[in-house]
Structure 1
């Protein structure tokens, strides 16, 4: 009977009626129907789609972001987030110029609102804004939203250090702020990435890997992966240019031997990255090694949440994209106990992280050596994986690479 009543509440007729009442009622009644719609939407994808498809109703919801009644504004935002979270099209924004006003209002709420829950919801909605919209990117670039995200991460860092107390609302704000940060780290959005590089964001961001909730860790690792893959591409370009320039060095040495000697001595004193050398030295260039992120990422592989392990593996993989630095990158992962953590994922992880861990382990084996005890342990784990239908072929390839099974094995 209760189930039947819920189905009636979720009908197209009733959802449409509730939306009309939201638009036409006094503030107190408006809040009650917004709360009801949030509950119904959280339980039913069909209700979410009914709300999304009602353009007049969504236009009213977005106009409520400027409402001077805090409870109306809060619950309108919650409903917008509920119908947007996880939807392929993201937030069902109104057409311009209302669209621009909505994005500016959300950025302003995240930046200026004294209400933590309101800021958290605004960050969550920003994270669900349509991804491939250059107008939205430009509004966010010009806004103070990224600085607000930075402040949230730094404030949480103080909480971790015992300077402030942590609350559930603060945890939610951090998780949603990190979700919003992902837009700024997208490799396809270099102008937004440059803004991230200008802030002193990396140290507190990396500490989230050690101290945050599983969801915060997952989003942080994904952000680091995005930033790192962009660096790998730019470092690759820099390496090519350096090789081209090196062809002229012998001539320069002959012409200016004393100057060349002074320059080379000076450059030797620089604190060079063990993987990229000087290619990742510009301040706005993010490097996992330079930022001391490799070990926290490796430690994240032991998180019980498979999403954290997979995001951390994805970030570590970005170190192994440039052929010219593969051996140094593999060594950096090994030196930070990476093989031990990868084997733990292969032994005890769920299927999706296992597949990624196996790919990473194979690449490491191709470009560096591991100790005999680890070699023997990996052999045992890989032989167990031969019983896994999804992974047995890949496991067999790695065992062949290790000279454990012959090339003509039935596993191929």
Structure 2
């Protein structure tokens, strides 16, 4: 179908007045675009992008909206040209309005719509574009992302965690240092963030701590479904960057992250286990945490050392050395 010009043909239906025909075309476009995001980008000029945004804004059909948002979500992340068009068309406020007014009762179509909106937020929170991140935060995206961590489907939770991780990558650089003499006005004690050791405001520094995102992130890891593990761990890892690893470790340890980490080490895939071990190694650099949580993690660590993915061998060994269950000079490395 793609070779025979299906994209161009289907795009003609975007201005079709018959909703049934238009929705059928959108659903087919969505399916084709999942496999060919680059080709989709070639075919979707500003005119067609604006038509799709108009459908999202004006359609009375939730299914039609979901398919339209899904097509936009399938555009390559990081494509500045497409994102600029979507920004100019005011897509972000439209999506925020949809998600803010959505009812708590969820149908499969509603879930699909929320998943696709969460996917679009990833496009608007790429860490390389702080101005775009700031626009998203000022419009109120962050509280909605945190809400999705608790109320969305697993796909929506995963995508929300990805956006929060992208935003949080810049929090350290954006926070106002308490040592700075160049502040125009005094900050309230409530704005002080113990992790970033400075003053954080959600709309300007994208701080996960101040956004209240840490507990719902950890709760996802404690669940039985594992598909969101990597995205959640990426978000938590932003609180353990080199400059703040100690304060970040203290904070997430206090949030009882160890139980969640054990769950991932027991049941997660190798990539998630690797990320979990990286976090655990940072937490266990602090003696207090080794004493408090070391014993509860021993069994799963030894099991991983014996039966886990060979690629995890050196990382597991590091943590075992921290717990004095393996000598540093051991041939295990």
SS in 2 for 1:283: helix
Aligned match of 1:31: none
Aligned match of 2:311: 390
Aligned match of 2:226: 306
Say which is worse superposed, 295-304 or 274-283, in terms of deviation: 274-283
Paired residues of 1:186 and 1:226 also in contact (CA < 8 A): yes
Q: Specify whether residues 398 and 114 from structure 1 end up closer, same or farther in structure 2 by C-alpha distance, changes over 3 A only.
A: same
Is 1:137 the counterpart of 2:83? The answer is yes
Distance in structure 1 (CA, Å) of the matches to 2:272 and 2:86: 33
Is 1:54 the counterpart of 2:19? The answer is no
Is 1:363 the counterpart of 2:282? The answer is yes
Is 1:82 the counterpart of 2:1? The answer is no
Aligned match of 2:13: 64
Paired residues of 1:149 and 1:178 also in contact (CA < 8 A): no
Shift of 1:151: 2.1
Aligned match of 1:295: 215
Q: Deviations over 1:107-147 (max 9, x none)?
A: 11112211111100111011112334333222111122111
Larger Rg: 1
Structure 2 length normalisation: TM-score? 0.90
Shift of 1:196: 1.0
Higher-RCO chain (CA-CA 8 Å, sequence separation at least 6): 2
Distance in structure 1 (CA, Å) of the matches to 2:258 and 2:39: 38
Paired residues of 2:119 and 2:159 also in contact (CA < 8 A): yes
Q: List 4+ stretches of structure 1 deviating above 3 A.
A: 130-133, 232-235, 266-271
Aligned match of 2:147: 207
SS in 2 for 1:126: helix
Distance in structure 1 (CA, Å) of the matches to 2:19 and 2:108: 20
Paired residues of 1:209 and 1:217 also in contact (CA < 8 A): yes
- Output the aligned Cα RMSD: 2.5
SS in 1 for 2:69: helix
User: 1:181 is matched with which residue: 121, 134, 137?
Assistant: 121
Shift of 1:368: 6.3
Q: Specify whether residues 63 and 188 from structure 1 end up closer, same or farther in structure 2 by C-alpha distance, changes over 3 A only.
A: farther
Paired residues of 1:81 and 1:121 also in contact (CA < 8 A): yes
User: 1:217 is matched with which residue: 148, 151, 157?
Assistant: 157
Aligned match of 1:407: 328
Q: Deviations over 1:35-76 (max 9, x none)?
A: xxxxxxxxxxxxxxxx23334x32121121111221221111
Aligned residues: 331
Aligned match of 1:346: 265
Say which is worse superposed, 282-291 or 222-231, in terms of deviation: 282-291
Shift of 1:381: 1.6
Distance in structure 2 (CA, Å) of the matches to 1:299 and 1:277: 25
Q: Deviations over 1:192-227 (max 9, x none)?
A: 222211123323321221222111111111111111
Distance in structure 2 (CA, Å) of the matches to 1:326 and 1:177: 32
Distance in structure 2 (CA, Å) of the matches to 1:100 and 1:277: 44
Q: Specify whether residues 88 and 112 from structure 1 end up closer, same or farther in structure 2 by C-alpha distance, changes over 3 A only.
A: closer
SS in 1 for 2:28: helix
Structure with the largest fraction of helix: 1
Q: Which runs of 5+ in 1 are unaligned?
A: 1-50, 250-262
Q: Specify whether residues 368 and 223 from structure 1 end up closer, same or farther in structure 2 by C-alpha distance, changes over 3 A only.
A: farther
Structure 1 length normalisation: TM-score? 0.74
Q: Deviations over 1:309-362 (max 9, x none)?
A: 1111111011112x3322111111111111121122112323221111111111
Q: Which runs of 5+ in 2 are unaligned?
A: none
Say which is worse superposed, 188-197 or 358-367, in terms of deviation: 188-197
SS in 2 for 1:386: helix
